[in-house]
Chain A
Amino acid sequence: MPVKLTVTGAAAVAHAMRQINPDVVAAYPITPQTPIVEYFASFVSDGIVDTVLVPVESEHSAMSALIGAAAAGARTMTATAANGLALMAEIVYIAASYRLPIVMPVANRALSGPINIHCDHSDAMLVRDSGWIQFFTENHQEAYDFTIMATKIAEKENVLLPVMVNLDGFITSHGVESFEMLDDEVVREFVGTWKPKYSLLDVEHPVTYGPLDLFDYYFEHHRQQEEAMKNAYKELPGVFEEFAKISGRKYDFLDLYKTEDAEHIMIVLNSTASTAKYVVDELREEGKKVGLVKPQVFTPFPKKEIQQVLNGRKSVVVLDRAMSFGKEAPLYSLIKSSLYEIASKPSLGSYIYGLGGRDVTPEMLRQAFEDALKGNLIADEQRYLGLRE
C-alpha cells in the first residue's frame, strides 16, 4: 500500500533514489541540494540500499565518477544545483554524448554572481543544450514521481540519455509537504534491472569509451543524440501510461489547469505553478477565462502539444525564472518559436520573475494576467514581476 509521508522534497527525492537502489551514487554537497545526498548517504550507511556511495571532492568529479561507473555498466545517480552544475557542465555534456543514462535531480538555484543560493532556473538553463532530458516538477509528489520515471526513460534502449529532474531549491527541496510514496517492490518492478548496452566490465565484448571523434564522426554522433531525443519524445507517453498504472497519477508533457475554455493562458515552470493555479482560481471566480500550462517535460520540448493547446487563444504570458541576456528569455523564446507555425496566433508577453529567490506573490502573477486581459501585451518587450524600479 502506498504511504503518505510528510517530509522535505529532498527526502522525497532521496526515497525515490532508495527505491531505485542505484549501483553507484557520487555525492558532493551543494546548497540547496545537499539534503538529497545526505538522506541517501544515511540509507547507504544503514545498509538499506546496496549502493556504492562515492564521496568526491567536486561536482566535476561527481559526474566524472558516474561516467566511469555508468560506462562499466552500473545504474548511476547524483544530485546537484547551481554552481555545482556549472562546475560539472563539461562532464554533463560528455555524459549525454556517451549516451549514459545517469539520473540527476537538480535543486534549482541561481547561478552566481553576485552570490546567491536561492531558487531560480538559471542553472537548468545553463545546460539546456547539453543533450540531457529535462523534467520540471512542481512539488514533492512530482519530484518523487519524475525521479522514478527518469530512470525508466533514460534506460530505454532507443533513448539512452541522461535525465535531470528539476525541483525548486528551498521551495521544494526544503519545504515540508505530504506526498504519496509507492511500495518499494512496486518501484523496483517498475524500474526493473538495468542491462547496459555496452559495459567495460563485459570482457567477452570489449569496448572502448571516449575515443577521439574529431571531424570524422562527431557530427554523426550528435545527429544520433537528436534521434535519441526524438525517441524519448515518442517513448514518454508509454512511460507516463505505465506509471499511471502503478500510481494512479497520469502525467503528460504539459500539465493543463483550467485551459479548456481559457482565452488567456499563463505558462510557468515548477513550483510557481501552484501560486499561478491559485491566481487562476481567483480570476475564474471573477468570471475571467484564464488557465495555466505547466511544461513538465522541457527537453525534448513538447512543441506539438504547445501548439495544440495555444492555437486560437487570445493571449499567452510566459514566465521565466532565468534570463538570457541580450536575447529573449529561454522558455519564452521556445514558446514564441512554437507559435510561428500555428493558424491562429495569440498575442504574447514575456515576464521575468523570481530571480535569486525573489518571492513570487499572487499579486505579481495577477499583474501578468491583467496585462493579458487588457490586451496590453507586446511580444518584443521583456517585463519584470517584482523588480524594484
Chain B
Amino acid sequence: MNNGWKDIPIGGVIDKPATARRYKTGEWRIQRPVIDREKCTNCMQCWLYCPDMAISGSLDGKRMKLGEFNMDYCKGCGVCAAVCPVSAIEMKPESEFI
C-alpha cells in the first residue's frame, strides 16, 4: 500500500477485512533466512514458530513438507533459524541481496 492522503479511508478506519495481507512487514527486514534444503528434515518447527506466518507448508501425503519463505512478510527476526534443530537456516544480511 502506498496510497496518498486522498486515497485512504478517513480516521484510520480499516474498511475491509483482511487488509493486513497488503501490509508488507518484510520491508522492515535487515537480515533474511536462507535455507539449506539438503539439511532440512521437514520437521516444520520453523513453520510453527514463525511469528509472521511467512513460511508456507503443504501436505505431502500424510507428512507436512516445508514450502517457501515469503519475503513480503518475513521480517528477519531469526526465530526460524534459532528453532531449527538441524541448523538448516542461516540468517544473512540483506545487504547481500541488493
Contact = CB atoms under 8 A, between A and B. Distances in A.
Is A bound to B? Answer: yes
A213 interface: yes
A205 B4 CA distance: 23
B4 A220 contact: yes
A59 B13 CA distance: 24
Interface string A104-141: 00000000000000000000000000000000000000
A205 B15 contact: yes
Given A220-B4, A220-B5, A213 B12 contact: yes
B24 to A, nearest CB: 11
B61 interface: no
Given A206-B17, A223-B5, A224-B5, A217 B12 contact: yes
A221 B6 CA distance: 9
Interface stretch (A45-53, A95-103, A368-376): A95-103
A209 B10 contact: no
A308 to B, nearest CB: 30
Contacts of A209: 11-13
A217 B8 contact: yes
A216 B12 CA distance: 11
Nearest to A198: B13
Contacts of B9: 198
Contacts of B1: 216
Main secondary structure of the interface of A (DSSP, over half): loop
A129 B4 CA distance: 23
Contact of B5 (A99, A100, A206, A221): A221
A308 B10 CA distance: 33
Interface in A177-221: 197-198, 205-211, 213, 216-217, 219-221
B53 interface: no
Contact of B11 (A100, A206, A219): A100
B14 A211 contact: yes
Nearest to A210: B12
A261 to B, nearest CB: 45
B12 A211 contact: yes
A160 interface: yes
Nearest to B4: A220
Given A220-B4, A221-B5, A223-B5, A208 B10 contact: no
B20 to A, nearest CB: 9
A99 B8 contact: no
A213 to B, nearest CB: 5
Contacts of A223: 5
A160 B12 CA distance: 13
A224 B9 CA distance: 9
Contacts of A160: 10-11
Contacts of A211: 12, 14
Contacts of B17: 206
Contacts of B13: 98-99, 198, 207-209
Q: Which of B11, B12, B13, B17 has the most CB of A within 10 A?
A: B11
Contact of B10 (A205, A216, A224): A224
A204 to B, nearest CB: 12
B15 A198 contact: yes
Nearest to A221: B12
Contacts of A205: 15
Given A205-B15, A217-B12, A221-B8, 10 more contacts: A97-B11, A98-B12, A98-B13, A198-B11, A207-B13, A208-B13, A220-B3, A220-B8, A221-B10, A223-B5
10 contacts: A97-B12, A98-B11, A98-B12, A198-B9, A198-B13, A209-B12, A210-B12, A219-B5, A221-B11, A227-B5
Identify the 5 closest CB pairs spanning chains A and B, nearest first. Answer: A99-B11, A220-B5, A208-B14, A223-B5, A98-B11
